[in-house]
């Protein structure tokens, strides 16, 4: 992970938030390439889930909602994680995740030597398992106590109990409270879905692993409203769709797997849930969940608000509260999956090359334009090509350093095509196009470049 984190900083994908003040460790900023990558992921999600589906519409609900929303949704009472503290160093941990980190051990079998033991494993010298604080190796951990993950703030100028509101910990509730507005205004019929992308906030006990677990993040969530009794079929349908979509982003199938939640893992709202996990450098972890939320949320909102949220089926005249199948993905975790999956170190002609083999349609930059040398009309022609392409593609102009170094920089940025204007170009108006993955170069007429890129990016 350290290698990826440093590449992300070097190339302008992701920076530590407030780095000049030492950073927060719980929030990250997307730089020029990172924001393009994340936007491309979100755009692909929006297009495939909303524009390509007649039974789906979009929404952008506010982050601050009426506080009773969180009473009805169960988040005020149940959105907690079990927290333990070290009595010596005071570090805090999520009790259910302590075993997922490596631990410091002063081994009695080796005269108290200090070792870092891999997560979940016993010490290979004394065979003892972790019982103390994993960070300092000395302190006992307290018994777990429940900690609510919602951030509190105040609505309006007075900081008093009546003004407390919460930053939403999931985008889903904005969809539930708007479901009738959307249904009536968009003239949808059940089954149909509402999707949205937006920020969510959780005061995580132990944020970490780069953008994997942060306190501010973005979700891409879809709630599909169905007739009770049909939720099982829709649940399976959406499981299939989501896995297909992720593989369509170019993520290797062998790095993806399902994890069904056991009874003890299910969130307070879920009847059944599957995570899609990716094999990150720090192990297999969830980055998307598919949940059968039944009528849990709508029935609680109906009770709490006193407003009827039932659907009248125009075909049968039946009234019912729809059941909900949810797909909930993190935009940041998906970006991390794309980055981890794309990262390669290769040897090319005796030299190490680092390359991000991001699917071209997701790549932040689609092409870079280089004059081979800064004379003989090459920069002028390269500039013209750059200006022509800019209207349709996010392209980059680079005339600094040797051509080999310029290629390497774009390999690290994941740019799929390198367009070079050389001596021949000014004679016959052709350029070379280098493919990031195969390293093959072809000559293309300068006037055909836009069509060439369009075809390659669509593929």
Binding site for ligand ATP (CB under 6 A): 202, 204, 213-214, 217, 219, 286-289, 328-330, 332-333
Residue with Cβ nearer ligand ATP (274 or 323): 274
CB distance 171 to 219 below 8 Å? yes
Nearer to ligand ATP, 224 or 311 (CB): 224
Cβ 426 vs Cβ 434: under 8 Å:
no
Long-range pairs, 184-192, Cβ under 8 A, ≥24: 186/57, 188/55, 188/57, 189/314, 190/225, 190/226, 190/227, 190/311, 190/313, 190/322, 191/55, 191/224, 191/225, 191/226, 191/227, 191/230, 191/234, 192/55, 192/56, 192/57, 192/224, 192/225
* Least distance from ligand ATP to the Cβ atom of residue 50, Å: 19
What is the nearest approach in angstroms of ligand ATP to the Cβ of residue 445?
44
Q: Cβ closer to ligand ATP: 217 or 238?
A: 217
Q: Please give the sequence-ordered ranges of beta strands (E in DSSP) within 164-212, or none if there are none.
A: 164-166, 192-201
Nearest CB to ligand ATP, comparing residues 225 and 287: 287
Indicate the residue among 259 and 456 with the shorter CB distance to ligand ATP: 259
CA distance 168 to 67: 10
- Least distance between ligand ATP and beta carbon 109 (Å): 35
- Min. distance of Cβ 78 from ligand ATP in angstroms? 12
Minimum CB separation of residue 9 from ligand ATP in Å reads 19
Q: Which residue has the tokens 């709508």?
A: 298
Are residues 361 and 453 in contact, defined by beta-carbon separation less than 8 angstroms?
no
Beta carbon nearer to ligand ATP, 154 or 284: 284
Nearer to ligand ATP, 175 or 378 (CB): 175
Least separation, in Å, of the C-beta of 13 and ligand ATP?
A: 16
Distance of CA 20 to the CA centre of its chain: 25
The structure tokens 């927290």 sit at 83
Structure tokens at 218: 């973005």
The tokens of 425 are what? 């170009």
Q: How far is the CB of 332 from ligand ATP (least distance, A)?
A: 5
Q: Which lies closer to ligand ATP via its Cβ, residue 201 or residue 386?
A: 201
Phi, psi dihedrals of residue 273, rounded to the nearest 5°: -155, 140
Report the residue closest to ligand ATP, judged by CB: 330
Nearer to ligand ATP, 167 or 367 (CB): 167
The C-alpha atoms of residue 1 and residue 209 are separated, in whole angstroms, by 8
Shortest Å, Cβ 180 to ligand ATP? 24
Q: How far is the CB of 442 from ligand ATP (least distance, A)?
A: 39
Helix/strand/coil for 193: strand
Q: Pick from 107, 13, 6: which is nearest to 358 by CA?
A: 13
Burial class (CB in 10 A: 0-12, 13-18, 19+), 406: buried
The C-alpha angle with vertex 45 and arms to 65 and 47, in degrees rounded to 5, equals 105
**Is residue 51 classed as helix, strand or coil in its secondary structure?**
helix
CB 304 within 8 A of CB 190: no
d(CA 194, CA 321): 16
Token digits of residue 364: 């932040």
Q: Which is nearer to ligand ATP, 204 or 310 (CB)?
A: 204
Question: CB of 203: closest distance to ligand ATP in angstroms?
Answer: 9
Query: Between residues 105 and 333, which has the closer beta carbon with respect to ligand ATP?
Result: 333
Kind plus residue range of the DSSP H or E element containing 426: helix 423-428
CB of 328 to ligand ATP, least distance (A): 4
Residue 203 has, within 13 A of its CA and on its CB side, a CA count of 16
In the block, residue with structure tokens 């005071």: 90
Q: Which is nearer to ligand ATP, 280 or 407 (CB)?
A: 280
Name the minimum Å distance from CB 192 to ligand ATP. Answer: 22
């Amino acid at each position: 992970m350290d290698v990826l984190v440093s590449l992300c900083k070097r190339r302008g994908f992701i920076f530590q938030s407030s780095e000049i003040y030492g950073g927060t460790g719980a929030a990250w900023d997307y730089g020029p390439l990172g924001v393009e990558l994340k936007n491309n992921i979100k755009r692909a999600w929006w297009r495939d889930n909303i524009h390509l589906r007649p039974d789906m519409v979009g929404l952008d609900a506010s982050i601050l909602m009426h506080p009773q929303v969180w009473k009805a949704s169960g988040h005020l009472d149940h959105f907690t994680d079990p927290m333990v503290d070290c009595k010596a160093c005071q570090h805090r941990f999520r009790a259910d995740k302590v075993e997922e980190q490596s631990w410091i051990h002063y081994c009695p079998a080796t005269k108290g030597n200090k070792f870092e033991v891999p997560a979940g494993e016993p010490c290979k010298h004394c065979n003892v398992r972790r019982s103390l604080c994993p960070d300092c190796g000395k302190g006992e951990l307290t018994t777990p106590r429940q900690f609510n993950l919602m951030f509190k703030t105040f609505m309006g100028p007075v900081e008093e109990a009546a003004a407390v509101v919460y930053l939403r910990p999931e985008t889903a509730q904005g969809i539930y409270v708007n479901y009738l507005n959307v249904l009536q205004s968009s003239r949808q019929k059940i089954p149909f879905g509402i999707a949205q992308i937006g920020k969510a906030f959780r005061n995580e006990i132990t944020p970490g692993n780069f953008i994997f677990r942060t306190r501010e993040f973005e979700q891409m969530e879809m709630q599909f409203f169905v007739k009770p009794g049909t939720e099982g079929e829709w649940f399976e349908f959406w499981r299939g769709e989501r896995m297909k979509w992720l593989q369509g982003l170019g993520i290797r199938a062998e790095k993806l797997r399902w994890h069904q939640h056991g009874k003890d893992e299910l969130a307070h709202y879920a009847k059944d849930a599957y995570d899609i996990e990716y094999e990150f450098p720090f192990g297999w972890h969830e980055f998307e969940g598919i949940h059968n939320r039944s009528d849990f949320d709508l029935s609680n909102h109906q009770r709490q608000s006193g407003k009827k949220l039932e659907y009248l089926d125009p075909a049968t005249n039946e009234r019912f509260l729809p059941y909900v199948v949810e797909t909930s993905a993190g935009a940041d975790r998906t970006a991390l999956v794309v980055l981890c999956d794309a990262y390669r170190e290769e040897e090319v002609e005796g030299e190490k090359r680092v390359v991000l083999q991001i699917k071209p349609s997701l790549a932040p930059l689609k092409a870079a334009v280089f004059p081979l040398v800064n004379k003989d009309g090459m920069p002028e022609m390269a500039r013209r090509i750059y200006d022509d392409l800019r209207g349709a593609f996010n392209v980059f102009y680079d005339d600094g350093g040797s051509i080999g170094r310029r290629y390497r920089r774009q390999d690290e940025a994941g740019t799929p095509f390198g367009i070079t204007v050389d001596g021949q170009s000014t004679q016959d108006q052709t350029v070379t196009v280098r493919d990031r993955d195969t390293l093959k170069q072809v000559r293309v007429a300068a006037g055909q470049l836009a069509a060439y890129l369009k075809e390659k990016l669509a593929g």
